Amino acid sequence: MKTNNKNYIAWLMALSPTLFAAGIADAATATLSPLVVTAGRVAEDPAQISAQTSVIDRTQIVQSQATSVADVLRTQTGIDVAAAGGPGKVTSVFMRGAESRHTLVLIDGVRVGSATVGSFDWGNMSTADVERIEIVRGAQSSLYGADAMGGVIQIFTRKGTSGTQVHVQGEAGSYATTSEKMSVTGMNEAGVSYALTADGLRTRGISAAAKGTEPDSYRQATFSGRLGLPVGEGELELIGRNVDGTTGLDGFGPVDTLNLTSQTKQTVTSVKLSYPLTDWLESKLQLSRSTDEVIGRDPAGGFNNSDFHTRIDQLTWQNQFDMQAFSVLAGLDIYRSKGNSGSAGLNRSLQQSAGFASLAWHAGLVDVNASLRHDRNSAVANKTTYKLGAALHPLDGLKLTANYGTGFKAPSLNDLYFPASAFSSGNPNLKPESSKGWDAGIAWQTSDDNLTAAFSVTWFDQKYKDLIAWQGPPPTFFFAPANVGSARSKGMEINADLAYAPAYLHAGWTALKAKDSVTGNMLARRAKDSGHVALGAMWEGLDAMVDWHVVGPRFSEAGNVKPMKGYQKTDVRLSYAINPQWKLSGRVENAGNKTYEEVSGYSVPGRSWYASVSAVF
């Protein structure tokens, strides 16, 4: 039997967080070496990038059967995910020990998240319309400004290619879960591309409270569309995305409270024009808006009745000068964040603007990059950040990388302007949080017709200061934010990949020491050790995979009073392509029926099964 090893190479590229598999892909086919956009804000060859970057494409997302982006991120080294209950509950992502608010989240280049809280809730982020996920670790503020102190995660939605393709899928499983997905993608002879996706999910769910008895249901609908219009030699892109999710809630901590619900609405709209002005100069202009609304309801008229509405308007203009051996990027970001809440009495906004520039030089043996950015903020001090990076290729298949950079995070609207009461108040005198740090890595790969192997190790060390914390010390117990914190996060990420048709293996491990520099305590919800192993095989339409996750002990809160036990979890996935059009899939999550918590007092689903049928026309 003849088996195409390129499928396994694609798996390695998705699983490896440093993209050193680019060299492997070059040996197989150029189509398996996609350009990376997020690391430098322009399309780049991953082999020339010094930043530690991961790319997960549509093929790997479909093969994993993951229904949420948070579940995809759980398989990545250097990332901790914490969900306060089952599907649809508040979900945080910590990159290399940084706070969740220190990771910038982009959808098709558009900033998303809550302007009042200052972070993005991953609980409603479906994979249905996701084409690709790019993850860049380490401080990236020198290109992206505030929020990118710990790294950047960018979601790219589906985009049409040649012809028209219709994809439909239905799924059912444990906890009375059902979901339906439909997408239409394509491109006509005039070069107009289009992609439309609709996704719905309903589940009875589990009790979010670990000791609760009432299931907390969840329903979610996602609609997205993308239209590309040729404009001379350039392209005009129109993008729209709408998410509406409603979940049942329990009371604070482990107390089970009936009938509480929370509705989250998230939208993204964008207009982007890309146009090559000359053979060596391309200009891009993007105007966008993202909104985030959270509406709490309690039929009994209790504390949960609340509403928070935020939006971010952004204008981005960037120009890339590409002159073979080196390239220059220069641009402007202007955005306005606004938040209002009738229940909290908040109605404030912030204006921010920035100029940025970067230089990349490629000399074969070495690739060097440098970037600089200056941010102006209407409420806090201006900040200038920078980054230097290099990638060295001393031998065929061997890549050495090093990066040093600074970052910052501006206070959120709640931090600055939360309305004063007898119990709490915002603080308009806050300073931005800031960081500095480095990482260095070694990556090696080799490939022939039958065997593909890759290995990488990355060391990182990041220091944070002026961290904002809400405190209410005695005797007044009046809560207000202040720049009182500092922290240090250092560690190591190891990845090993092996593919020998028809089998493939990935193993990743993260060793992390994330500490509060003032108290010496471990940062909450960050495990010292975590790992992931995926073992699978593809053979004549059959794709089988076993995932094993291990997460070490960690603490649930900053005081390190309440430890959480480590856990191990096993997932099993199987799919069979009946023919080129029809496919059957099934999976068992938490096959060992392990009981554990990602957030103290909140449960996770036990052993659960799901089966689906999909068709492509």
Q: Which two tokens stand for residue 500?
A: 């020998």
What 8-state DSSP symbol labels residue 7?
H
How confident is the model over 519-546, as a mean pLDDT? 94
What 8-state DSSP symbol labels residue 365?
S
* pLDDT higher than 80, residue 591: yes
pLDDT at 2: 41
pLDDT at 251: 56
Highest mean pLDDT among 201-215, 238-252, 263-277, 415-429: 263-277
Q: How confident is the model at residue 601 (pLDDT cuts 50, 70, 90)?
A: confident
* pLDDT higher than 50, residue 206: yes
pLDDT at 257: 52
Give 467's strand partners. Answer: 485
pLDDT digits (tens, 9 = 90+) for 393-405: 999 999 999 999 9
> What is the dihedral angle through the alpha carbons of 522, 523, 524, 529, rounded to the nearest 10 degrees?
-70
What CA–CA distance (Å, rounded) separates 55 from 43? 13
**What whole-number percentage of the chain has pLDDT above 90?**
79
* pLDDT higher than 80, residue 49: yes
* pLDDT higher than 60, residue 445: yes
What CA–CA distance (Å, rounded) separates 67 from 605? 15
What 8-state DSSP symbol labels residue 164?
E
pLDDT at 220: 96
How confident is the model over 312-335, as a mean pLDDT? 96
pLDDT digits (tens, 9 = 90+) for 209-259: 766 667 889 999 999 999 999 999 999 999 999 999 999 876 554 444 556
pLDDT digits (tens, 9 = 90+) for 147-163: 999 999 999 999 998 88
Lowest mean pLDDT among 136-150, 338-352, 511-525: 338-352
Average pLDDT for the chain: 90
CA distances 214 to 246, 251, 510, Å, are 16, 11, 36
What CA–CA distance (Å, rounded) separates 583 from 571? 20
Lowest mean pLDDT among 204-213, 215-224, 410-419, 456-465: 204-213
**What whole-number percentage of the chain has pLDDT above 70?**
91
Lowest mean pLDDT among 5-14, 66-75, 192-201, 513-522: 5-14
Give 405's strand partners. Answer: 387, 437
What number of helices (H) and strands (E) belong to the chain? 6, 31
Query: SS3 of 37, please?
Result: coil
Q: How confident is the model at residue 27 (pLDDT cuts 50, 70, 90)?
A: very low
Residue predicted with more confidence, 23 or 447: 447
* pLDDT higher than 90, residue 450: no
Question: Are the C-beta atoms of 172 and 586 separated by less than 8 Å?
Answer: no
Phi-psi region of 241 (alpha: psi -120 to 50; beta: other; left: phi over 0): beta
Q: How confident is the model at residue 1 (pLDDT cuts 50, 70, 90)?
A: very low
Strands 103-107 and 151-157: parallel
130-137 sheet: strands from edge to edge: 53-57, 130-137, 151-157, 103-107, 110-111
* pLDDT higher than 50, residue 11: no
Closest of 461, 507, 438, 529 to residue 80, by C-alpha = 529
Question: Are the C-beta atoms of 388 and 372 separated by less than 8 Å?
Answer: no
pLDDT at 471: 85
pLDDT at 123: 94
Question: Are the C-beta atoms of 485 and 468 separated by less than 8 Å?
Answer: yes
Q: How confident is the model at residue 586 (pLDDT cuts 50, 70, 90)?
A: very high
What CA–CA distance (Å, rounded) separates 370 from 387? 6
The total number of residues shown for the chain amounts to 617
| In the block, residue with structure tokens 């798996």 | 11
Q: Which CATH fold topology does 6-447+457-525+545-561+588-616 show? A: Maltoporin; Chain A (2.40.170)
pLDDT at 617: 94
Closest of 250, 290, 286 to residue 268, by C-alpha = 290
* pLDDT higher than 80, residue 72: yes
How confident is the model over 51-64, as a mean pLDDT? 94
Q: How confident is the model at residue 351 (pLDDT cuts 50, 70, 90)?
A: very high
How confident is the model over 509-516, as a mean pLDDT? 96
Q: How confident is the model at residue 29 (pLDDT cuts 50, 70, 90)?
A: very low
Q: Is the pTM of this model over 0.85?
A: yes
What CA–CA distance (Å, rounded) separates 91 from 317? 32
Q: What are the respective helix, strand and coil percentages of the chain, to the nearest 5? A: 10, 55, 35
Task: Provide DSSP, 252-299.
Answer: STT---SSEEEEEEEEEEEEEEEEESSSSEEEEEEEEEEEEEEEEE-T
* pLDDT higher than 50, residue 32: no
Give 256's strand partners. Answer: none
* pLDDT higher than 70, residue 7: no
